[in-house]
Structure 1
């Protein structure tokens, strides 16, 4: 037997201890109320941050909200800022595989040791705030609030020059809103989480507009006129200049290219032609335009153009795992995290534009609180067959129930129900191959479904 050098053995032992401690921490966090079980108050997270010395005030923040596109846009902003040489932190949700994906340092998931250190810094403070809250008839901090506290502490400890922070849900009462963004970014607003945020885009826009603060610049994607009016009212109220896509900036042109698209962007301070974006769909080109305007606003108040070479390099290396991502060839299997009607519409448009399948099979699992009927109706014209399944999430809709909805929309002959996700993936691939070459599978309906299929196919990188 070959023995390891002492240093290697010590490192292996440290790694093992870190993995054990990470499992303990994850179990403790997951034992809390889930992130969609919110108490509409910033009191708990604000109290923890105050006890910690308000770490979220020690670096600049770009704060993002919206219905879809937040994570992709956050990653794009991060890529551009990292390319300029800044040290970045990024907080996004949900994750595909590993909790640490939600907290990134300079574009990479936070190392285990840094996650553990940040947790151990804030854990006693969280316990103290929990005890105070319970004593006064309140509630413990939920899963998401704890992760926000860890992220803000980790960013301060790194330290980072700027944090790119995506809200979890809404805006005004989201735990991330204890930070004040120098740039507030609002991606397109549509209907989602209506049981929590409101039944129409006006109510939802009011909630999301809460991240717009005095002294900030607001950058907004294309909006429904009523939603845009709400954002304009809030921006005027606090004195935040509002920059709207289609007015102040936008996509000048784009065309499909091998592995992505060629895009020309009009920013706030200049034009940026012929950028190769290795992502598919008009929605990703729009996300890029928003990201460029946000970075222009952050670096030069929207009055200084970005360096063309730096931007081109940053765009060329942009990724968005789980967003119309090719995870297998022959047949092609794509995963996409579309989980609401707005996301499904963007997915269908991108499929029509970028892929020419002779037969396309959908593999769909949807969370129970989503508008499954509208998602299925959006997908129906594009799919030849649909395989219904579920992810491991306890919130996933039962395959029998989702299958019954699908049968009403697709007809019985175009629907297969598989309770096991691995079996469903095998079945979808077999159906795609029935007519020979040219078939494909699109996996969609939730982030969890997309993430678990990535794992089944051996893909873990983000």
Structure 2
């Protein structure tokens, strides 16, 4: 894609978004660190001044990043956090001290690097991508703040992800499953090899529980580079969890101590595991002493993770969850059974065309009384009709409705949930789950927050 020959300074967020979207999208990749290295060199290597906690894995990165960020701020450290993709606004991807950049800060972050993007474009075989430009913006904003620690979530993979020009003090590897197979490989071992690239010499590698095949790859990488390894289920983990109103109550074994009566306002065993990983990552970063237990409790009680089993409406209840692969859908399904008692539960699903739609549909099938197949507004979205055809094979014709417009799909689902007695359910116990894609959930969240269905 050809780029303008002169820097395009922006006045507004809309202009920044337009400039960034004119670049290679996140769905187009050329595995190389050449462009981001050239970019950060021109920016003065801002990432070299940062202490870093770096996260990879198939699911749970954003929730765990947010937990780590909240714990670090409780230790009076100034944080920068880079996550992706965004739910509603691009500026969500870059946060300082737990707050996403304001519109003015986002414009300034873009303008600070804009001139250098064109120098890189002119020198490299391919222009900087959308994601690479965002990473450069984040590094520059964090160095300028300056922050005490940057919490970086990879975009995809690890070794050649643009965030990997930063060297982590702590490298976190969340559970690895098959996703993005076109780029990362079809086998778990191949995917693990790619994600293991964030484990750098001298760092502490915090490993969530993994399959034996994945663990072998990660441990081999850690031994190769001389990283210290701590593993969920061995050096740290969840001792117990009890679902509670609005979340769950945890006892966590950390690296430095045990922390009881920790309330986490998120649902599901997977979020309890994420909390254990986040705690271990912060303990590894902070030194040898145990963290203050009251501080840990207060921090976890403050954690939010928008779009992750997030209840955004009542009467009927509407829940948003960004599960977009079978592994994530299975975790969401387990959390629904564990933490809620919805009957009927009506699914609203919109999926990207490059995802395992059949696997997603199958994972949710035991939980949905009826499924509304829809689509989001992006060109990458699978059409509602195509998703509907796949769904009929798994759910049967009587349990599937196709409604291409997302807002109409949510309305139709809400009406079905409210008519719960037609399914033999008690009045008022019906709910809607919007899922299948971060984009679908983000668009639904924007609609529902605007009060479309008061």
Contact 1:248 1:268 in 2 (8 A): yes
For residues 76 and 213 of structure 1, the distance between their equivalents in structure 2, rounded to whole angstroms, comes to: 23
For residues 262 and 274 of structure 1, the distance between their equivalents in structure 2, rounded to whole angstroms, comes to: 6
For residues 34 and 449 of structure 2, the distance between their equivalents in structure 1, rounded to whole angstroms, comes to: 42
Q: 132, 153, 157: which one pairs with 1:145?
A: 132
For residues 125 and 331 of structure 1, the distance between their equivalents in structure 2, rounded to whole angstroms, comes to: 50
SS in 1 for 2:242: strand
Q: 357, 368, 379: which one pairs with 1:394?
A: 379
Partner in structure 2 of residue 39 of structure 1:
30
SS in 2 for 1:79: helix
Partner in structure 1 of residue 329 of structure 2:
344
For the pair 1:189 / 2:176, whether they are aligned, the reply is yes
Superposition deviation, residue 20 in structure 1: 4.7
Contact 1:266 1:289 in 2 (8 A): yes
Partner in structure 1 of residue 245 of structure 2:
258
SS in 2 for 1:255: strand
Partner in structure 1 of residue 108 of structure 2:
117
Query: Mapping of 1:22-37 within 5 angstroms?
Result: 22-37=13-28
Q: 394, 397, 412: which one pairs with 1:427?
A: 412
For the pair 1:231 / 2:218, whether they are aligned, the reply is yes
Shift of the 38–295 alpha-carbon distance from structure 1 to 2, 3 Å rule, reads same
For the pair 1:293 / 2:284, whether they are aligned, the reply is no
For residues 36 and 295 of structure 1, the distance between their equivalents in structure 2, rounded to whole angstroms, comes to: 32
For residues 445 and 374 of structure 2, the distance between their equivalents in structure 1, rounded to whole angstroms, comes to: 15
Runs (4+) off by over 6 Å: none
What is the CA deviation profile of residues 100-141 of structure 1, one whole-angstrom value per residue up to 9, with x for unaligned ones? 0000000010122222222222111110010011xxxx1111
Partner in structure 2 of residue 418 of structure 1:
403
Structure 2 unaligned residues grouped into runs of 5+: 1-8, 422-426
For residues 179 and 388 of structure 1, the distance between their equivalents in structure 2, rounded to whole angstroms, comes to: 41
Partner in structure 2 of residue 154 of structure 1:
141
Query: Mapping of 1:79-228 within 5 angstroms?
Result: 79-133=70-124, 138-228=125-215
For residues 360 and 115 of structure 1, the distance between their equivalents in structure 2, rounded to whole angstroms, comes to: 39
Contact 1:362 1:441 in 2 (8 A): yes
What is the CA deviation profile of residues 167-198 of structure 1, one whole-angstrom value per residue up to 9, with x for unaligned ones? 00000000000000100000000010001000
Contact 2:312 2:319 in 1 (8 A): yes
Partner in structure 2 of residue 3 of structure 1:
none
For residues 407 and 305 of structure 1, the distance between their equivalents in structure 2, rounded to whole angstroms, comes to: 53
For the pair 1:322 / 2:307, whether they are aligned, the reply is yes
For residues 277 and 393 of structure 2, the distance between their equivalents in structure 1, rounded to whole angstroms, comes to: 38
For residues 417 and 294 of structure 2, the distance between their equivalents in structure 1, rounded to whole angstroms, comes to: 42
For residues 388 and 19 of structure 1, the distance between their equivalents in structure 2, rounded to whole angstroms, comes to: 38
TM-score with structure 2 setting the length: 0.95
Contact 1:115 1:154 in 2 (8 A): no
SS in 2 for 1:272: strand
For residues 319 and 145 of structure 1, the distance between their equivalents in structure 2, rounded to whole angstroms, comes to: 27
Superposition deviation, residue 33 in structure 1: 1.0
Structure 1 unaligned residues grouped into runs of 5+: 1-17
Contact 2:11 2:107 in 1 (8 A): no
Superposition deviation, residue 19 in structure 1: 9.1
What is the CA deviation profile of residues 130-159 of structure 1, one whole-angstrom value per residue up to 9, with x for unaligned ones? 0011xxxx1111110000000000000111
Superposition deviation, residue 274 in structure 1: 0.8
Superposition deviation, residue 242 in structure 1: 0.9
What is the CA deviation profile of residues 385-424 of structure 1, one whole-angstrom value per residue up to 9, with x for unaligned ones? 0000001121100111100000010000000000101110
Q: 419, 423, 443: which one pairs with 1:452?
A: 443
Shift of the 253–103 alpha-carbon distance from structure 1 to 2, 3 Å rule, reads same
Query: Mapping of 1:373-412 within 5 angstroms?
Result: 373-412=358-397
SS in 1 for 2:307: coil
TM-score with structure 1 setting the length: 0.93
SS in 2 for 1:214: coil
